[in-house]
Structure 1
Protein backbone atom coordinates (compact mmCIF):
# COMPACT_ATOMS: atom_id res chain seq x y z
CA UNK A 1 0.00 0.00 0.00
CA UNK A 2 3.11 2.15 -0.32
CA UNK A 3 1.86 3.71 -3.55
CA UNK A 4 -1.43 5.16 -2.29
CA UNK A 5 -1.94 8.43 -0.46
CA UNK A 6 -3.23 8.62 3.09
CA UNK A 7 -6.55 9.87 1.71
CA UNK A 8 -6.78 6.87 -0.62
CA UNK A 9 -5.94 4.54 2.27
CA UNK A 10 -8.76 6.10 4.30
CA UNK A 11 -11.11 5.53 1.35
CA UNK A 12 -10.05 1.89 1.18
CA UNK A 13 -10.66 1.40 4.91
CA UNK A 14 -14.11 2.99 4.71
CA UNK A 15 -15.07 0.81 1.75
CA UNK A 16 -13.76 -2.30 3.55
CA UNK A 17 -15.89 -1.45 6.57
CA UNK A 18 -19.08 -0.93 4.59
CA UNK A 19 -21.49 -3.08 2.66
CA UNK A 20 -20.66 -1.92 -0.86
CA UNK A 21 -21.06 1.75 0.05
CA UNK A 22 -21.89 4.33 -2.60
CA UNK A 23 -19.95 7.54 -3.17
CA UNK A 24 -22.10 9.78 -0.98
CA UNK A 25 -21.95 7.36 1.95
CA UNK A 26 -18.16 7.26 1.63
CA UNK A 27 -18.10 11.06 1.41
CA UNK A 28 -20.20 11.35 4.59
CA UNK A 29 -17.87 9.03 6.51
CA UNK A 30 -14.82 11.01 5.36
CA UNK A 31 -16.42 14.31 6.30
CA UNK A 32 -17.15 12.97 9.78
CA UNK A 33 -13.54 11.85 10.15
CA UNK A 34 -11.83 14.88 8.62
CA UNK A 35 -14.40 17.33 10.04
CA UNK A 36 -14.39 19.22 6.75
CA UNK A 37 -16.24 19.10 3.44
CA UNK A 38 -14.91 16.63 0.89
CA UNK A 39 -15.54 17.81 -2.65
CA UNK A 40 -16.53 15.45 -5.45
CA UNK A 41 -13.50 16.66 -7.41
CA UNK A 42 -11.29 15.12 -4.75
CA UNK A 43 -13.38 12.06 -3.89
CA UNK A 44 -14.17 10.47 -7.23
CA UNK A 45 -10.74 10.75 -8.90
CA UNK A 46 -9.23 9.08 -5.82
CA UNK A 47 -11.84 6.32 -5.92
CA UNK A 48 -11.04 5.83 -9.61
CA UNK A 49 -7.34 5.55 -8.76
CA UNK A 50 -8.09 2.76 -6.28
CA UNK A 51 -10.10 1.00 -8.99
CA UNK A 52 -7.23 1.41 -11.48
CA UNK A 53 -4.77 -0.03 -8.94
CA UNK A 54 -6.99 -3.09 -8.50
CA UNK A 55 -7.72 -2.42 -4.83
CA UNK A 56 -11.40 -1.55 -5.28
CA UNK A 57 -14.16 -2.64 -7.66
CA UNK A 58 -16.81 -0.22 -8.85
CA UNK A 59 -20.26 -1.56 -9.66
CA UNK A 60 -23.63 -0.01 -10.27
CA UNK A 61 -26.24 0.18 -7.55
CA UNK A 62 -28.65 1.81 -10.00
CA UNK A 63 -28.34 3.99 -13.12
CA UNK A 64 -27.04 6.98 -11.16
CA UNK A 65 -25.26 5.39 -8.22
CA UNK A 66 -22.00 3.45 -8.10
CA UNK A 67 -21.23 1.03 -5.31
CA UNK A 68 -17.70 0.16 -4.23
CA UNK A 69 -16.16 -2.99 -2.76
CA UNK A 70 -12.63 -4.01 -1.83
CA UNK A 71 -10.96 -6.63 -4.03
CA UNK A 72 -8.96 -9.60 -2.75
CA UNK A 73 -5.82 -7.63 -3.52
CA UNK A 74 -7.21 -4.70 -1.53
CA UNK A 75 -7.84 -6.95 1.47
CA UNK A 76 -4.31 -8.35 1.21
CA UNK A 77 -2.93 -4.81 1.15
CA UNK A 78 -5.00 -3.87 4.22
CA UNK A 79 -3.74 -6.97 6.05
CA UNK A 80 -0.14 -6.20 5.10
CA UNK A 81 -0.54 -2.60 6.28
CA UNK A 82 -2.02 -3.77 9.59
CA UNK A 83 0.93 -6.12 10.14
CA UNK A 84 3.39 -3.35 9.27
CA UNK A 85 1.70 -0.92 11.69
CA UNK A 86 1.74 -3.53 14.46
CA UNK A 87 5.55 -3.46 14.37
CA UNK A 88 5.49 0.16 15.47
CA UNK A 89 2.22 0.75 17.30
CA UNK A 90 1.14 -1.14 20.41
CA UNK A 91 -2.65 -1.06 20.22
CA UNK A 92 -2.97 -2.60 23.68
CA UNK A 93 -1.70 0.58 25.36
CA UNK A 94 -4.52 2.68 26.79
CA UNK A 95 -4.72 6.24 25.53
CA UNK A 96 -6.00 7.38 28.92
CA UNK A 97 -2.96 6.09 30.80
Structure 2
Protein backbone atom coordinates (compact mmCIF):
# COMPACT_ATOMS: atom_id res chain seq x y z
CA UNK A 1 0.00 0.00 0.00
CA UNK A 2 1.34 3.43 -0.89
CA UNK A 3 -1.14 5.43 1.13
CA UNK A 4 0.24 8.57 2.71
CA UNK A 5 3.08 9.27 0.28
CA UNK A 6 3.33 12.99 -0.35
CA UNK A 7 5.10 15.23 -2.81
CA UNK A 8 7.30 16.21 0.14
CA UNK A 9 8.51 12.61 0.42
CA UNK A 10 9.36 12.55 -3.27
CA UNK A 11 11.15 15.90 -3.19
CA UNK A 12 13.17 14.90 -0.14
CA UNK A 13 14.20 11.64 -1.79
CA UNK A 14 15.14 13.36 -5.05
CA UNK A 15 17.32 15.86 -3.18
CA UNK A 16 19.14 13.06 -1.36
CA UNK A 17 19.54 11.13 -4.62
CA UNK A 18 21.00 14.18 -6.35
CA UNK A 19 23.35 15.12 -3.52
CA UNK A 20 24.28 11.53 -2.53
CA UNK A 21 24.20 12.90 1.02
CA UNK A 22 21.45 13.45 3.57
CA UNK A 23 23.40 16.30 5.16
CA UNK A 24 23.97 18.19 1.90
CA UNK A 25 20.37 17.63 0.80
CA UNK A 26 19.12 18.98 4.14
CA UNK A 27 21.25 22.10 3.70
CA UNK A 28 19.35 23.00 0.54
CA UNK A 29 15.91 22.00 1.81
CA UNK A 30 13.76 23.57 4.51
CA UNK A 31 14.56 20.78 6.99
CA UNK A 32 17.34 19.22 9.02
CA UNK A 33 19.21 15.99 8.36
CA UNK A 34 17.38 13.94 10.99
CA UNK A 35 13.96 14.96 9.66
CA UNK A 36 15.08 14.27 6.10
CA UNK A 37 16.42 10.85 7.01
CA UNK A 38 13.21 10.03 8.85
CA UNK A 39 11.12 11.08 5.84
CA UNK A 40 13.16 8.82 3.53
CA UNK A 41 12.71 5.86 5.89
CA UNK A 42 8.98 6.63 6.02
CA UNK A 43 8.84 6.71 2.21
CA UNK A 44 10.63 3.35 2.05
CA UNK A 45 8.16 1.91 4.54
CA UNK A 46 5.11 3.28 2.72
CA UNK A 47 6.38 1.88 -0.58
CA UNK A 48 6.31 -1.58 1.02
CA UNK A 49 9.64 -1.69 2.85
CA UNK A 50 11.54 -0.94 -0.34
CA UNK A 51 15.15 0.05 0.20
CA UNK A 52 15.95 3.17 -1.83
CA UNK A 53 19.42 3.96 -0.47
CA UNK A 54 22.48 1.88 0.34
CA UNK A 55 23.34 3.59 3.60
CA UNK A 56 26.47 1.48 4.15
CA UNK A 57 28.38 3.37 1.47
CA UNK A 58 29.69 6.89 1.40
CA UNK A 59 28.69 8.73 -0.59
CA UNK A 60 25.23 7.23 -0.38
CA UNK A 61 24.33 5.10 -3.35
CA UNK A 62 20.92 4.36 -4.76
CA UNK A 63 19.64 0.81 -4.79
CA UNK A 64 18.04 -0.48 -8.01
CA UNK A 65 14.66 0.64 -6.61
CA UNK A 66 16.15 4.02 -5.73
CA UNK A 67 17.52 4.41 -9.26
CA UNK A 68 14.07 3.66 -10.67
CA UNK A 69 12.40 6.22 -8.41
CA UNK A 70 15.08 8.82 -9.13
CA UNK A 71 14.62 8.32 -12.89
CA UNK A 72 10.83 8.54 -12.73
CA UNK A 73 10.53 10.95 -9.80
CA UNK A 74 11.16 14.24 -11.60
CA UNK A 75 8.52 13.39 -14.19
CA UNK A 76 6.07 12.39 -11.43
CA UNK A 77 6.67 15.76 -9.79
CA UNK A 78 6.17 17.63 -13.07
CA UNK A 79 2.95 15.74 -13.83
CA UNK A 80 1.59 16.41 -10.36
CA UNK A 81 2.33 20.13 -10.59
CA UNK A 82 0.81 20.25 -14.07
CA UNK A 83 -2.43 18.66 -12.78
CA UNK A 84 -2.56 21.04 -9.82
CA UNK A 85 -2.12 23.97 -12.21
CA UNK A 86 -4.96 22.71 -14.37
CA UNK A 87 -7.20 22.25 -11.34
CA UNK A 88 -6.48 25.77 -10.15
CA UNK A 89 -7.18 27.14 -13.61
CA UNK A 90 -10.50 25.31 -13.81
CA UNK A 91 -11.45 26.45 -10.32
CA UNK A 92 -10.45 30.06 -11.02
CA UNK A 93 -12.68 30.13 -14.06
CA UNK A 94 -15.62 28.48 -12.27
CA UNK A 95 -15.74 25.80 -14.94
CA UNK A 96 -17.47 23.06 -12.94
CA UNK A 97 -18.26 21.04 -16.07
CA UNK A 98 -14.66 20.82 -17.29
CA UNK A 99 -14.43 17.24 -16.09
CA UNK A 100 -17.04 16.10 -18.56
CA UNK A 101 -19.82 15.57 -16.01
CA UNK A 102 -23.39 15.73 -17.23
TM range (shorter): 0.5 to 0.7
Contact 1:51 1:57 (C-alpha < 8 Å) held by counterparts = no
Structure 1, unpaired ranges of 5+: 91-97
Instruction: State the secondary structure of the residue aligned to 2:85.
Output: coil
Name the count of aligned residue pairs: 79
Q: Paired residue for 2:39?
A: 46
Report 1 or 2 for greater relative contact order, CA contacts < 8 Å, sequence distance ≥ 6.
1
For residues 55 and 73 of structure 1, the distance between their equivalents in structure 2, rounded to whole angstroms, comes to: 11
Structure 2, unpaired ranges of 5+: 87-102
Q: TM-score, normalised by structure 2?
A: 0.51
Q: Paired residue for 2:10?
A: 9
Choose 1 or 2 for highest CA Rg: 2
Which has the larger helix fraction?
A: 2
Q: Displaced runs of 4+ in structure 1, greater than 6 A?
A: none
